[in-house]
Structure 1
Amino acid sequence: MKPYQQIEIVECGEPLLPIPLELFAVESPHPYQKLGATYGERSPYHLRQRVLTNLLQAQAQLQLRYPGWRIQIFDAYRPIAVQQFMVDYTFGQVLQAQGLTLAELSAAQRQVIWEQVYQIWAVPSLDPHTPPPHSTGAAVDITLVDTTGKTVNMGSAIDELSARSHPDYFANSTDPAEQQYHSHRQLLWEVMGSAGFQRHPGEWWHFSFGDQMWVWLTNQENPDNSAVARYGWVESPSD
């Protein structure tokens, strides 16, 4: 169990709404659908009502600073089945990268790989007390595009399983290109933070509002805060 999963959830019942994709940049088809993930009847481009409102506010802040720039949505709502698919897919990718096969792994080797996978992927838990953040409709993975529609370079890919995924990885670099990467990550954080989001401590692209991780991070900033999470797991219509 991760620390944020100890936060109590009091589900508010807020609806999961479709994201107006014409207002944002979006990759189509969805990156995980291209890998073979099945979402069923509901598109991955959904968020809870308040989360969507805040995301629109973040984009408005971005465009005050950089007219014509947009938030690009990589992933939003993720059913448990897709969470499981991506966890298994990532495990397989790590095996392939290391030139290993599942049959030859020792128990210790298998554990090491799972620890790598769960650095960026939440356990696909069906326990209502420990939902993966994206399965609540309160988390969104994003980057930025400029006025030409080109994706802004953040220095690493979304979902990259490496130290470069850490938001501050390039913070102390003296290399001009890497300083620019950090500047872009800071811009993303500033516009999202201005709209009430919290950023995942280990992922520059992951932001949430109202879920367990958001409360846990908010409580760390204010130890006197005793808030509870307002968003729990949302069942997929096809589940």
Structure 2
Amino acid sequence: MKKQFYETSIDFIYNKPSQENINWLKANAKPMPIDQNFRIKSLHSYKDIKLKGVLNLMYTRTALVIKLNQILEHLPHNFSFLIFDAFRTIETQFDLFRYIYEQQKDLHPALSHEELFAITKEFIVHPAEKSLYEIPPHNSGGALDLTLALDGQALNMGTDFDCVSECSQTIWFEQDYIQGAGYTKDEWFAIRKNRRLLFNAMKRAGFVNYTAEWWHYDLGDCHWAKTLDLDWYYPSLESELLE
């Protein structure tokens, strides 16, 4: 199965889930700490940088934990998942938007507030803006930021998690090798294989990818529903966890 994932190009054509699949997602909607398996490790990236509103445990919905375990059954035993982020409070969503905005301001001091705001929105939903998503994907508990590891070491995916760069686009390394882009030819093709492995493993399990971020995958949230032209998606998970 791993070889098949490597050899299949990344494409964003997904099969719609059946009503039975949707009913299964509904039936497995309870919140659950994500690291229920020694092959799934939460890195708690936003707790480390002290963003506001971050919980002590990393949660997602039960359905997503089950799916991750199913994916691992099809990979060799020395592969594992590293989880950067899962459920995210609205407070954390606001603070992360501010954090990325300030990063961009440091990188592009000549840009206006409007230009910086627009760049930031390419990488994170502003929770006050309802025109794109009624519920920010991470707030629903249906979004995961993750990567694969081999023998405990994260695979080379070409950029760091949360890197605001065109190289973070999931299909970036599907194009022909670009000399002078900062990668050797061997690195380029290794990154392509690694991204294909992650993408195709997640896609096979029913996830969809946010195309600007190789690390972001959705199942049952509003981005998943919009991508698949579905009416149903998970509500916010916040009230269940913080009540």
TM > 0.5:
yes
Q: Deviation of residue 158 (structure 1)?
A: 1.3
Instruction: Return the TM-score normalized by structure 1.
Output: 0.79
- Code of the aligned partner of 1:232: P
Q: 1:34 aligns with which of 48, 70, 78?
A: 48
- State which of 17, 28, 36 in structure 1 corresponds to 2:32: 17
Secondary structure of 1:23's counterpart equals: coil
Shift of 1:51: 1.8
The secondary structure found in structure 1 opposite 2:95 is helix
Q: How much does 1:126 deviate?
A: 8.4
Corresponding position of 2:80: 70
CA root-mean-square deviation: 2.4
Q: Which moved more, 1:183-192 or 1:48-57?
A: 48-57
Would the aligned equivalents of 1:138 and 1:231 in 2 still touch at CA under 8 Å?
A: yes
Task: Give how far 1:27 is off.
Answer: 5.2
TM-score (norm 2): 0.78
Match of 1:193 in 2: 203
Is the 8 Å Cα contact of residues 125 and 132 (structure 1) preserved in structure 2?
A: no
Of 114, 119, 132 in structure 2, the residue corresponding to residue 116 of structure 1 is: 119
Taking a change above 3 Å as real, the CA distance of residues 27 and 50 of structure 1, as seen in their structure-2 partners, is closer
Secondary structure of 1:70's partner? strand
The aligned amino acid for 2:192 is H
How far apart are the structure 2 equivalents of 1:78 and 1:44?
Answer: 11
The yes-or-no answer on 1:170 pairing with 2:170 is: no
Give distance in 2, aligned partners of 1:134 and 1:205: 13
Shift of 1:21: 4.6
Match of 2:73 among 52, 60, 67: 60
CA distance in 1: counterparts of 2:93 and 2:164, whole angstroms: 16
Conserved in 2, the CA contact under 8 Å of 1:24 and 1:73? no
Q: Is the 2:59–2:87 contact (alpha carbons within 8 Å) kept by the matching residues of 1?
A: yes
For residues 138-217 of structure 1, the aligned pairs below 5 Å read 138-147=142-151, 149-174=152-177, 175-217=185-227
Is the CA contact 1:44–1:75 (under 8 Å) kept in the aligned structure 2?
no
Partner of 1:6: none
- 1:141 maps to a residue whose letter is D
Counterpart of 1:48 in structure 2 is 61
CA contact (8 A) 2:171 2:211 kept: no
**How high is the sequence identity, in percent, across the aligned residues?**
25
Counterpart amino acid of residue 132 in structure 1: P
What letter is aligned with 2:35?
A: P
Please tell me the residue identity of whatever aligns with 1:140.
L
Q: 1:136-171 CA deviation, whole Å, 9 max, x = no partner? A: 000000011112x11110001111111011111111
User: What is aligned with 1:8?
Assistant: none
What is the letter of the counterpart of residue 49 of structure 2?
L
After TM superposition, the runs of 4+ consecutive aligned structure 1 residues lying more than 4 A away are 236-239
Distance in 2 (CA, whole Å) between partners of 1:59 and 1:53 is 10
Offset, 1:209: 0.6
Q: Is the 8 A contact 1:44 1:77 kept in 2?
A: no
Residue from 136, 139, 160 that aligns with 1:132: 136
> Which secondary structure state, in structure 2, belongs to the residue aligned with residue 159 of structure 1?
coil
